[in-house]
């Protein structure tokens, strides 16, 4: 059995230009984004283990916020998820896979969660 290290950031609310319908285009929509990544893991994490033995959680947040290109309209939230995955794979060669869950908050009528989950493996 292989050990694994999964880092997570959940429930970021990010305004993103996305959608295919006329009422969606031209204005940002709030998306709830959760990200998980699996990293190659060292043997153990001792009390004095430096941060570079793992990954800064803020890198995950950055991929879903500041790394999204400003002014770009993503027709599909799947494209947003792909961009986040690509960003995390480029940032760190130790990332084995990335999972991105996106919920479109603007279309919920009764607090339901409408969206998708994508999991990409390093190729």
* Domain parsing of the chain, residue ranges: 5-43+53-121
Q: Take residue 86 and report the two structure tokens written for it.
A: 């690509």
CB 31 within 8 A of CB 82: no
Q: Residue 109's pLDDT is what?
A: 84
**pLDDT above 70: percentage of residues in the chain:** 99
pTM here is 0.92
3-state secondary structure of 44: coil
18, 42, 38: which is closest to 28 by C-alpha?
A: 18
**pLDDT above 90: percentage of residues in the chain:** 71
Query: Mean of the pLDDT values across residues 107-113?
Result: 85
pLDDT tens-place string over residues 14-66? 999 998 888 778 889 999 999 999 998 878 889 999 988 888 999 999 999 99
The secondary structure element, H or E, covering residue 101 is strand 95-104
Residue predicted with more confidence, 123 or 79: 79
CATH number of 5-43+53-121: 3.30.1130.10
Q: Which residues contact 6 (CB under 8 A, 6 or more apart)?
A: 36, 37, 38, 39
Q: Which residues contact 56 (CB under 8 A, 6 or more apart)?
A: none
């Amino acid at each position: 059995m292989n050990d694994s290290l999964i880092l997570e950031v959940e429930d970021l609310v990010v305004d993103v230009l996305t959608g295919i319908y006329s009422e969606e285009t031209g204005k940002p929509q709030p998306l709830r984004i959760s990200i998980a990544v699996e990293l190659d893991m060292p043997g153990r994490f001792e009390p004095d283990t430096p941060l570079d033995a793992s990954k800064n959680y803020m890198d995950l947040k950055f991929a879903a916020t500041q790394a999204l290109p400003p002014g770009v309209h993503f027709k599909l939230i799947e494209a947003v998820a792909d961009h986040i995955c690509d960003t995390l794979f480029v940032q760190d060669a130790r990332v084995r896979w990335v999972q991105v869950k996106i919920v479109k908050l603007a279309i919920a009528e009764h607090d339901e969660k409408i969206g998708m989950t994508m999991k990409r493996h390093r190729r």
